[in-house]
Structure 1
Amino acid sequence: MSIIVAGKLILKSGARNEFIDKSREAISQARKLEACDDFSVSPDPIDENRVNIFEKWSSREELDAFRNSGPDNGSFALVESFHVKEYELNT
């Protein structure tokens, strides 16, 4: 089974670059883990206050473990709303 996390975050006006910069540490840490197949935070090409999120994990347990141990740098204070879903894939 794999877990896909995908969606969008709507950020406070003008905060997109700061959010992406603050996300680099979490992205780097996640990508070093064997259980993380992909982790990306990307600027939306049309909406300057939006970033797109994509993650792929090999298990729910590994995703939860990362979430509970990842860096807390205050980046979510820059988020106005989020629309992110998780999908379980049976492979």
Structure 2
Amino acid sequence: MIIIAGKLWVDAADRDAYLAGCSRAVEQARSAVGCLDFALSADLIEPDRINVYERWETDEDLARFRGAGLEPEQAAQIRDAEVSKYRVSGVEAP
């Protein structure tokens, strides 16, 4: 399993519009083969931060979805990003 997690920063005044513009991408991801979860959310404390969480079955599934990448308008709005890819070898109930 692959987890993509981290954070993006956009101008605080643009965050809600940025997230609204991501609705279609979230829908597409969630319906993509191998997507176990996909979420972008407004941070509760930092007004310019967006939290990123994705969970995929395989690298191939992730690569297939990522093929197109961000729309240029969306990419231009990101001021900074800290997003990492994690490999999970097992999952246990809490």
TM-score (norm 1): 0.90
- Could you say which residue in structure 1 is the equivalent of 2:79? 80
Cα distance in 2 for residues equivalent to 1:49 and 1:69: 25
Measured after TM superposition, the shift of residue 74 of structure 1 is 2.0
Task: State the distance in 2 between where 1:30 and 1:23 align.
Answer: 11
* Secondary structure, aligned partner of 1:77: helix
Mean CA deviation greater in 62-71 or 46-55? 62-71
Distance in structure 2 (CA, Å) of the matches to 1:70 and 1:46: 28
Cα 1:73–1:22, aligned 2, differ >3 Å: closer, same or farther?
Answer: farther
Which blocks of at least 5 consecutive residues in structure 2 are unaligned? none
3-state SS in 2 of match to 1:46: coil
| Alignment partners' CA distance in 2, 1:83 and 1:71 | 16
Specify the alignment match of 2:38 in structure 1: 39
Structure 1, gaps ≥5 residues long: none
Report matched runs for 1:1-91 at 5 Å. Answer: 2-69=1-68, 72=71, 74-91=73-90
When you count strand as a share of all residues, which structure comes out higher?
1
SS at match of 1:74: helix
Residue 9 of structure 1 contacts residue 50 of structure 1 at CA under 8 Å; is this kept in 2? yes
Which segments of structure 1 move beyond 3 Å, counting only runs of 4 or more? none
Larger Rg: 2
Q: Is 2:4–2:54's contact at 8 Å kept on the other side of the alignment?
A: yes
Task: Give the aligned length.
Answer: 90
**Quick one: distance in 1 between partners of 2:64 and 2:33?**
13
CA distance in 1, matches of 2:11, 2:61: 30
> Using the alignment, how far apart are the partners of 2:9 and 2:82 within structure 1?
8
> How large is the RMSD of aligned CA atoms in angstroms?
1.4
TM-score norm. by structure 2 comes to 0.88
